[in-house]
Chain A
Amino acid sequence: MNDETILLSHGAGGERMARLIAEVFVAAFDNPTLRELGDSAVAPIEAGRLAFTTDAFVITPIFFPGGDIGHLSVCGTVNDLAAAGARPLHLSAAFIIEEGLPLADLKRVVASMKAAADEARASVIAGDTKVVPHGAADKMFITTSGVGVVPEGVDISPARARVGDAVLINGFIGDHGLAVLCAREGIELETPLRSDSAPLAGLVARVIEAAPETHCLRDPTRGGVAAALNEIAERSGACIELEETALPVREAARGACEILGLDPLHVANEGKMLVIVPEAQADAALAAMRRGRYGEGAARIGQVVEGPAGRVQLRTVLGTRRIVDRPVGEPMPRIC
């Protein structure tokens, strides 16, 4: 293909688009179902319950330290499936591309998606391509959907948190949101922080195997750990208490948060999974996480306690308690 940039005609349904699909998408994702290029992808269904999720990704910049929009989109969808206790199977990817995007950028993004999908042992079997005029989209938007199967006996739900449960997480919080914010806002903060974008299906499978009574799983993306736990607390009618001294935050992330006036609990993560599990299986769950990839820094960060339903609170370094609310709006650097 001679074209160096994406043009409107690449989305017009004609010759150019057919070539783009063949030479970029099919070539990269490379699986028999996709190669069929039917109007719908057809695949066999396993017995069990279907998990189905969809997400749109509109991140700026599209390339950031530790990842890119493609890697993010596949991991995000895979992790949503994993959070339901499902084994990810098939993904779709719809692209809305801004006219003028360098072809090399598109290829780079697609290669990232392939790598993430391979790691998650899922494949992209369906897709769509649209090209919009310059200015109508910010480089590229990706919408991914995914299906998976929830094995028999697995009952993971945000409504299942119970008093006495342990609250665990697989590693450092705040890296992704900070890495992207610093890259985007041009605040000229040089941090060694990189996005933690990662597919966690394998980690979740380990946890469920070691701790079959796991009650809740949630990936703390937008809104951070604060938003994710508030959702669980609300759905479960439970009170969750976190221990400030137990929160795993990298020194560099702490530094960036102090400088920008941000709360690490409010910052997005893309390679983290909150695990709420009965105390009796907490150690097993932790060990399972630490045993493999993306779980080396797994830690116990709190527990479900007696208290007002729907509340998330933090025991501070002073030993006092305060409430952890969802953040209001996009966390913005403040100088006050």
Chain B
Amino acid sequence: MRHLDEYRDPALLRALERELAALRPAPVNLMEVCGTHTMAAARFGLRQALPEGVELLSGPGCPVCVTPTREVDRFLAAGAAPGTILATFGDMLRVPGSRSNLERERARGADVRVLYSAADAVALARSRPERQVIFFAVGFETTAPTVAMTLLEADAGGVGNFSILCAHRIVPPALKALVLAGEVNVGGFILPGHVSTIIGSRPYEFLAREHRMPCVIAGFEPTDLLRAVLMLLRQRAEQRPQVEIEYSRVVKPGGNERAQAVMERVFEVCDAEWRGLGMIAGSGLRLREEFRRFDAASRFGLLAPDTQDPPECRCGEVLRGVVRPTDCTLFGNACTPEHPVGPCMVSTEGTCAAYYKYRPSPDG
């Protein structure tokens, strides 16, 4: 496959590994903040290819993981109304609410549809005018523009039986919160490649300027990841923290202006709760007044319930990179992909699920 296979060339990978080894870097923790990076690193056993002492931590980059329990509960509550169709991305099916999840509610008779695109939800609403279709709008800046476009289409088409439960989050404020918390020793960030196709590199500049943090926006293939690590280690060695773009074939410094504009048009920034990080100012998106009638929470009077995360669950600390999944007492026994406790294990991209699924063989 073009623009994919070339970045898995073993010869290029060998060369990058040699170059990394030749650097003889001092021990350092690097953090990737994108769930898809977590998956990719695990899928390719990337940690085993890094030089001794270079550790790769996973930060709060999985939008499924950081969706608070109460949002899941709200979405499930929305499904209780008769005639409702709950439309969701497949990733959300087994995310635990405080008492149930979408998969179980589907088994109990709730009409839950897994979709691949927000646009499919509007098409569904059009085809079933007698039903209410509520779409769980989860995702970062990669997904938010696609939902924004979908809302514009619903608006233009007068699709009255469509609404969204808006749970979008945006990345830069969470990174800011991370570095301000200062709770983990991170020497560089591998920044999310696809979020950055939308927002560009400028929103991250403050990390390099104000916090002297090396940053590289990376793609998702093995050569992308190894090259990003190389670029970060070089920034550190040369004491030149900046925001570099490794994924230059699709990420431009200014990002995708059209996508940004459409997000601006439909959404406005608000404060939002992140599982494990608490409330972060200006880190969420909500529908603008003009589009508020598409907000399921308003339309159906969905209150945010009072929910508790299970006390032994350490997803919050895992997401902040403070502990490894293996440090959590629940990991691998009470909490496994088969019966997860927190979203870090439920999401196919969750840090704990990736650790569990792709744990390295002892000799690997």
A-side residues, CB < 8 A to B, are 185, 187, 251, 254-255, 258, 260-261, 307-308, 311, 313, 316-323, 325, 328-329, 332-336
Contact = CB atoms under 8 A, between A and B. Distances in A.
A329 B94 contact: yes
Interface string B40-52: 0011111011000
15 contacts: A261-B348, A307-B363, A311-B361, A316-B44, A318-B10, A318-B222, A321-B360, A322-B44, A323-B359, A328-B94, A329-B94, A332-B90, A335-B91, A336-B36, A336-B347
Given A335-B143, A336-B36, A313 B116 contact: no
A-B interface, 5 closest residue pairs, ranked by CB to CB distance from nearest: A320-B45, A321-B364, A332-B90, A320-B48, A328-B337
A333 B91 CA distance: 8
A91 to B, nearest CB: 32
Given A307-B361, A319-B49, A321-B361, 5 more contacts: A255-B1, A320-B46, A323-B358, A329-B94, A335-B91
A334 B353 CA distance: 15
Contact of A332 (B4, B62, B93, B337): B93
B263 to A, nearest CB: 17
B114 A332 contact: yes
Contacts of B64: 336
Nearest to B225: A318
Contacts of B338: 328
B89 interface: yes
Contacts of A251: 1
A255 B116 CA distance: 16
B63 interface: yes
Given A318-B49, A320-B45, A321-B48, A334 B359 contact: no
Contacts of B62: 336
B22 to A, nearest CB: 18
Contacts of A260: 116
B65 to A, nearest CB: 10
B317 to A, nearest CB: 21
B32 to A, nearest CB: 14
Interface of B: 1, 4, 8, 10, 13, 35-36, 39, 42-46, 48-49, 62-64, 89-91, 93-94, 103, 114, 116, 139, 143, 222, 337-338, 347-349, 356-364
A334 B358 contact: no
Contacts of B10: 317-319
Contacts of A332: 90-91, 93, 114
Contacts of B93: 329, 332
B363 A322 contact: no
Contact of A320 (B49, B63, B90): B49
A183 to B, nearest CB: 14
Given A254-B1, A258-B1, A317-B8, A335 B348 contact: no
B169 to A, nearest CB: 13
Given A258-B4, A320-B49, A336 B89 contact: yes
B45 A321 contact: yes
Contacts of B359: 322-323
Given A322-B360, A336-B64, A316 B1 contact: no
B116 A316 contact: no
Nearest to B35: A336
B239 to A, nearest CB: 30
Nearest to B353: A328
A335 B356 CA distance: 20
A55 B364 CA distance: 38
A336 B39 CA distance: 9
Most chain B CB within a 10 A radius of its CB, from A308, A311, A317, A322: A322
B348 A334 contact: yes
Contacts of A187: 116
B364 A313 contact: yes
A258 B1 CA distance: 10
Contact of B63 (A325, A333, A336): A336
Nearest to A251: B1
B117 to A, nearest CB: 8
Nearest to A329: B94
A64 B214 CA distance: 51
A332 B43 CA distance: 17
